Amino acid sequence: MRLRQLDLIRYGKFHEQVLDFGAAGRDCDVTVVFGENEAGKSTAFAAWLDLLFGLPMQTAHAFRFDRKDMMVGATIEAGGDSLTLRRTGKRQDSLTDAHGRVVDEARLSALLHGLDRDSYAKRFSLDDAVLREGGEEIARAQGDLGRLLHAGTSGLSGISEAMTAVEAEVDGFHKKSGRKTTLAAAKKDLADLEQAIQAARVEPRHFADLRKAQATAAAELAAAKAACAAAQRAVIVREAAERRRAIAAAIAVEQDKLAAAPAGPDLPEDALSRVVAADERRLAAEQHHAEAVQEGARLEAEAAALAPDAEGLAVAEALATLEIARFDDGELLLPRVQTAAADIGRRRAEAAQLLRDATALAERIAGPGAQDVALPEERRMALRASAQAVRDGARQLADLDLTRQETQAALGPDLAMPQGIDALSDALLALQRDISDPVALADAATRAGVQAARAAAGLSGDWRALAEAGLPEEAELAELATRSARLAERASDAARQLAEAEDALAAQEAALTAARDFGAAVTDGEIAESRAARDAAWAEHETDLQRATAARFADLMRGDDALRARHAASAEGRLRLTAAQEQVQQEQQRCARRSAAVARCDEEQAALQAEAAALAARLGLGAEFPVAGFVARRAALRTALDLALEAEAAATLAAQARARRDALLGRLSDAVQGAGGVSTPERLQPEAERLLVQLETRAKEARARQAAAASLASLNHKRDAAEQALSLHRAALARIATGWAEGMDAEAILARLPDLDRLAQVEVEHADRARRIGLMEAALAAFEAVMQPLRPALGLADAASVSETLAAARQRAKAAEAGAAQISALARKLEAARSAQGAAEQVMRASAAEIAQVLEGQESAPEANPRRHVSTLVARDRDRATLQRLRAEHALAAGGLDEAALEAEAQQVDPARLAGLQADLAEAEAQRDGVLRRAGEADEALRLALASTGGADIDQRRATALETLSEEARIAATKLLGLMAAQGALRRFRQEHRGDMLEATEAAFARLTHGEWPRLETQSTGKSERLVALRDGLPVTADAMSTGTRGQLYLALRIAGHADFVARHGPLPFVTDDIHETFDDMRSRAALELAGEMGKLGQAILFTHHRHLVTLARDVLPDVRVIELAK
Amino acid sequence: MRFLHSADLHLDSPLRSQALKNAELAATLRAASRSALARIVDTAIAQDVDALLLAGDVFDSGQIDVASRAALAAELGRLGAAGIPTVMIRGNHDALLDMASYGPIGDSVVQLNRDTPTFRVGEASIHGLGFTTRHVAETMLPDYPVAEPGRINIGLMHTSLGGAEGHDPYAPCSEADLLGWGYDYWGLGHIHKRFERRSERSLAVMPGIPQGRSIRETGQGSATLIEIDGAGVRASEVPIALVRFEVQPLDLSGAQSQAAQIATMADAMRTAGAAGPVALRLRLRGAGSLPGTPDFARQLAEEAAAQTTGVFVEAVRFDRDRTAVAPGVLSDLAAMMAEDAASAGFRDEAGALIEEWRRALPREVADVLAPEGFDALVEEGIEMMLARLGAGGEAS
């Protein structure tokens, strides 16, 4: 990039000033810009930076022109092209071309290789302050140049620290054999969670146990309930029998009471209340009758003393007629008469004033003596609309003319639209979106295949068929292993316990044998047999009384005596024998129980072996394979299958990725050719991207030109239409104004329209006043027609006012109406008294008939007091009802029970029988409750198991922990890989950059100082770096140098940095502003020589206010270009 | 007639997302699949459907937990009490639907199989065959009953159809054969992403998973409401999921401060959250130095999420910022890192290390370091390291 021309259009003190740096092509592209103090040298220097990076919000150069009006421009050469730019103070789109079209900042940023203002200023645009501040930073290894300078000799301290921190983070996640790493801790937590899940989960076998316990308990409960129901039925039968016996006794009592009661049918239910009510009505009616007779006599006497006022009633009738009289418009007469009497004078004055106002307005509109000036509203509106339309049309036409002229002036030459841009863009986008790497995927597929084969090694040949057919669940295998181990343990215990029991039995049998041998003990049986034999011999001897029978009895008696003596002497032996026999029995029973336990274990083991054999077959194992190894075998099969499926999927992915990439590259190549581009297969994508940028730029410019042309055409069309519309509006106005304002223009008409509106309003108001006055006069006439004849009767003069007449008439009418009302009220009261008398007589007759009806058919006639008689009959009916109820209760007490059982139970007279049956019931209920509790417990156990969330909640926690671990692993792996890449890159960087920057700086510094400072070194001081120069073998830091030497060191750093940058990225203008202030002539000459060398690589521009530097530059650099700024 | 069709409930299968570290979301999504089932039942009752159709994988195949089955029985019992039967088939994950081992689920629940392949309700005949083994490699279509003339014929099938990404082939079946079988409607199951296929007189719907379980199952989980009458078959989605998973790309290049980054993220989250609760995976571009500190980036995202309602952070990822780094040491290092990472030596050494890490991880998450993701990890690693080195260089 090269600065061809700097245009100071409106910037600082400058206005339309041009600095021309000439064409490129010289061997040495160095320009010295000379200006005296205040010539604007530093301003021009600042303008260059502002052009590149925009004007700061606060600028010291906005004194002649406002910031928003400031503008600096430049012509820049790059890659054989020339670019003319303008920079303004606008907040947005401040970078434009020479025609004011917005230029994308990215275009300029690309020419600057992404450098921002600060980076560019510190490297390529130096005044004395920037030279020194930036130099200090570089010397301390800060910033990009600083890193470059120190890269070869130091550890890049900041970078090293960052890498050390990353390494620690990676080790914190996972380290071989590490026990406190994140991964180790997470795996331990996961193991704990897995155990918790196993405990919380409702396993199928546990579920089966719970259901079995529930079924057993339910069967026991059914039996207990049946027993309980039987006991309850027995109690119910006994209770029913006892209740029926008590009811039979009560029935007999009621029958005795009814034998003495009067005969007759049952009274109606409400008999008593009806008789009492009828009797009370009769008594009340007799009293009402007497009061009515007395009231009638009193009212007749009072009415005879009153007479009506006929004249007053006539006034009232006339007044009533007036009160309701209405005019044709619906309003009442009297209010209007009263209003008219008060208002009519004032309304007549208002009407006269409105007439005068109308005359004055007409003369203002049309001149003195004008008549019939007012227009109807429709015509006024038409006039106003038409005049306004003429006014608007004229203004619109003027605006369009102005806009059209501006657009015409801005329109540039016509541009053609490039072809093939969409196809190229689509092809590129498709290729960019294809993020897969076919080579890497192929490698991955190969690795996955190897892993799969490794995992399947050692498995039987049919392992995949087994795995795909479905492996047993891991939990099922684990549960089987647990069950197998427990069963083996139980079998071992049972065998051991059986052996112990058999040993104990043998010992007890030996003890029994010993007890039997102990001193010929006599048992109780032998004693009984001996006594029976002796008694039989005695009976025989009593019958026969023979010697032989006597002898036999004597022998047997002696034998019995001896046996009894021996029985008494062998008590201990008998006890020992009995105890030994009991022990043997107990041991025999224990042996039997333990033999059964061993047999059950054998059965269970056989069943479990069958189950294990079936599972072993599904795992591809022999039937004798230990159960404990099933889980591991399942895991091996599962892993082998997973890896095999992964390998197959990886191979498919790799093939798909390769095919997709080839297709996309082919499509892109076609698109490049279609767009007129040329490419090589090796650089197809970058060339296509470059071509697309070019095509898009051309397309954008062409679209902008088309849009501007279309806009101009549209404006022309609008202008013609507006002109035509204005003519039509003017013609319409002339038509509407005919006969009233002929020849008057739109503005004059619009000026008179307000007075015309007011005149119309005044005429409307005058008409309204006249109408209202007419109504008032009619109302007063109607009133007088009615009231005038009545004034003598009211004692008034003929001229009495409306209000006086009305007040007198209303007073007279009110008095007459009150008298008439009093007479009418007395007549109504008299009629009421006579009606009450008749009603009371009717009630007395009805009450007597009611009582007779209630007692009809009863055995004896009513007494003088009907209430007492009916009470006796009611008591009789109640006894009859009681008897009926008892008989129903007796039948009901059977309660649907078997009559035979009830009868049998009635025969049982034991008073304690019911208590015994209730005790049996309580015992059955207690048994049932016990079973019910067990059944409830079994139900609850199953319900709780099924109502639980099982292992789901913990499984969710485990899944979340796994996801967290997964994310942490991914991040840690990225750090590991980034760290490895950075370590390798840093090693290479050090090797490649070692000393380059340092040596270039050293050479420049030595030339600037004429060999006085021949050597530079970088040194590490712990966490920071420093730059030192060697003089006489001793290191000297920049701080310790003179101001001039330090400035030369910092310039040497920039010269070396410039050479490095140009070698890597190409040239950028190197601009300085009076940085040679502190250089002596010899060192200034050396600096100019170095500037000449920079000018061979790129462009160097030196601003100075020292005339002798210009002379020196011409001497050192014969090709130098000099620009002088006028003051 | 109206039916509600769902599949792949995977009852009690856990959600796989870091977002559940958020206590509020964890409480919301406790037993998410059971809540989704409850919503399906509520919808069936509210829409007064003629039957609920479940096309397999009601359960998950991990560990058998009979409590899951009890939860299913309770919800379908509620549906049965409303007079609505449930018609279902077994999928490849449905060991718990073994009636012989665990008893019937409920009076209103019908499981179709080879013994009873058809259930009739009103004018409709519902046909279905369930899986009898974990894996069925052959098509089951030829074994389905022929359509019954004069009636509405509905088929339930658990199938991967012609194959789907991320799904092994289960009971494969071509779409053309399916739509030409003569049924009015095919209620499918197995693939977790919803889609519809239609021919002139038949409609097949894969309803998708009603509650997505991870970022791999994005979109609004739903059930499908079917209306069949003289005008044909119509299907409409009924939202079911308590929360959906979404990936949200976001450019932060215009945000110059952390406050601006949070505000930009919050704006995007508000837009995403307007359609209901969502767990977002943010894919950030132009995030400056944030790729170097992913944990801090997540904290910023969590802060933004706290300013919105119903939005939760699933994860934060970074898309590679392809804008050129300004010339300098870092750009040189970046180029060298990229070159080094592409070398065979680096790939072998780093690949072996990552493989060792992968083996150290629990099996369920080992895929995160699978070889096919190696290149992406390397690219992210370089991006992260450059961000860290840039920040470190500035600070020194």
Do residue B132 and residue B253 come from a single domain? no
Q: How far is B44 from chain A (nearest CA, A)?
A: 23
Tokens of B256: 């110059």
Nearest residue of chain B to residue A657 (CA atoms): B372
pLDDT tens for each residue of A315-360: 888 888 888 888 777 888 888 888 888 888 888 888 888 888 888 8
Do residue B11 and residue B76 come from a single domain? yes
Do residue B34 and residue B155 come from a single domain? yes
Provide CB contacts within 8 A for A560, sequence distance 6+.
A530, A531, A533, A534
Q: Cβ contacts (< 8 Å) between B382 and chain A: which residues?
A: 977-978, 981-982
Who among A969, A979, A988 is closest to B357 (CB)?
A: A969
Tokens of A124: 């390529």
* AA identity, residue A987: R
Cβ contact, residue pair A984, B168, below 8 Å: no
Cβ contact, residue pair A981, B378, below 8 Å: yes
Side-chain-facing half-sphere of B148: CA atoms under 13 Å? 14
Boundaries of domain holding B395: 324-396
- pTM tops 0.95: no
Cβ contact, residue pair A203, B66, below 8 Å: yes
Nearest residue of chain A to residue B390 (CA atoms): A159
Cβ contact, residue pair A989, B63, below 8 Å: no
Residue B366 confidence (pLDDT): 92
How many angstroms separate the CA atoms of A770 and A347, rounded?
A: 8
| Confidence band, pLDDT 50/70/90 cuts, at residue B327 | low
Do residue B304 and residue B166 come from a single domain? no
Do residue B43 and residue B166 come from a single domain? yes
How many angstroms separate the CA atoms of A650 and B41, rounded?
A: 41
* Nearest-10 Cα torsion for A551, A553, A559, A563: -170
Do residue B329 and residue B314 come from a single domain? no
Query: Tokens 């290149």, residue?
Result: B375
Residue B237 has pLDDT above 60, yes or no: yes
Q: Of the residues B222, B239, B256, which one is the last residue of a structural domain?
A: B239
Residue A517 confidence (pLDDT): 67
How many angstroms separate the CA atoms of A251 and A882, rounded?
A: 9
User: For chain A, what are the domain ranges?
Assistant: 205-262+879-946, 379-419+684-737, 421-470+632-674
User: In Å, what is the CA distance from A683 to each residue of A665, A669, A680, A686, B323?
Assistant: 11, 11, 5, 6, 20
Tokens of A210: 């719970």
Query: Tokens 């059955």, residue?
Result: A924
Q: Of the residues B269, B294, B321, which one is the last residue of a structural domain?
A: B321
Q: Do B33 and B41 contact (CB within 8 A), yes or no?
A: no
Q: How far is A1006 from chain B (nearest CA, A)?
A: 25
Cβ contact, residue pair A468, B135, below 8 Å: yes
| Confidence band, pLDDT 50/70/90 cuts, at residue B396 | very low
8-state DSSP, A56: -
How many angstroms separate the CA atoms of A499 and A956, rounded?
A: 51
| Confidence band, pLDDT 50/70/90 cuts, at residue B395 | very low
Who among B64, B361, B372 is closest to A653 (CB)?
A: B372
Cβ atoms within 10 Å of A425's Cβ, excluding its own: 16
Provide CB contacts within 8 A for A1034, sequence distance 6+.
none
What backbone phi and psi angles, to 5 degrees, belong to B165? -60, 130
Who among B66, B360, B377 is closest to A183 (CB)?
A: B360
Nearest residue of chain B to residue A468 (CA atoms): B135
Mutate: best of B15, B357, B383, partner A, most A CBs <10 A: B357
Side-chain-facing half-sphere of A313: CA atoms under 13 Å? 9
Count of domains for chain B: 3
Residue B280, classed as helix, strand or coil, is strand
Cβ contact, residue pair A646, B370, below 8 Å: yes
Q: Do A691 and A677 contact (CB within 8 A), yes or no?
A: yes
Residue B105 confidence (pLDDT): 84
Do residue B200 and residue B112 come from a single domain? yes
How many angstroms separate the CA atoms of A124 and A119, rounded?
A: 8
Q: What is the CATH classification number for the domain harbouring B87?
A: 3.60.21.10
Do residue B209 and residue B113 come from a single domain? yes
Nearest residue of chain A to residue B13 (CA atoms): A952
Q: Of the residues B239, B262, B287, which one is the last residue of a structural domain?
A: B239
Q: How far is A413 from chain B (nearest CA, A)?
A: 35
How many angstroms separate the CA atoms of A332 and A355, rounded?
A: 30
Q: Which of B160, B378, B72 is nearest to A443 (CA)?
A: B378
Residue B170 confidence (pLDDT): 76
Do residue B313 and residue B331 come from a single domain? no
How many angstroms separate the CA atoms of B278 and B119, rounded?
A: 39
Q: What is the CATH classification number for the domain harbouring B276?
A: 3.30.370
Tokens of A732: 């319409």
Do residue B116 and residue B215 come from a single domain? yes
pLDDT tens for each residue of A722-767: 889 988 988 888 888 887 767 778 888 888 888 888 888 888 888 8
Specify whether the backbone of A795 is left (phi greater than 0), alpha (psi in -120 to 50) or beta.
Answer: left
Provide CB contacts within 8 A for B324, sequence distance 6+.
A114, B331
Q: Do A979 and B386 contact (CB within 8 A), yes or no?
A: no
Provide CB contacts within 8 A for B240, sequence distance 6+.
B6, B36, B39, B40, B43, B210, B211, B221, B222, B223
Percent of chain A that is helix, strand, coil (3-state, to 5): 75, 5, 20
Kindly give the parts of chain A with pLDDT less than 50: 152-155, 1022-1023
- The mean pLDDT of chain B is 87
Q: Which of A338, A301, A1023, A116 is nearest to B328 (CA)?
A: A116
Residue A571 confidence (pLDDT): 66
Provide CB contacts within 8 A for A706, sequence distance 6+.
A417
How many angstroms separate the CA atoms of A616 and A633, rounded?
A: 9
Cβ contact, residue pair B361, A969, below 8 Å: yes
Do residue B310 and residue B213 come from a single domain? no
Mutate: best of B16, B24, B66, B353, partner A, most A CBs <10 A: B66
Cβ contact, residue pair A982, B385, below 8 Å: yes
Side-chain-facing half-sphere of A928: CA atoms under 13 Å? 17
Q: Which of A704, A139, A173 is nearest to A415 (CA)?
A: A704
Q: Do A483 and A538 contact (CB within 8 A), yes or no?
A: no
Nearest residue of chain B to residue A115 (CA atoms): B326
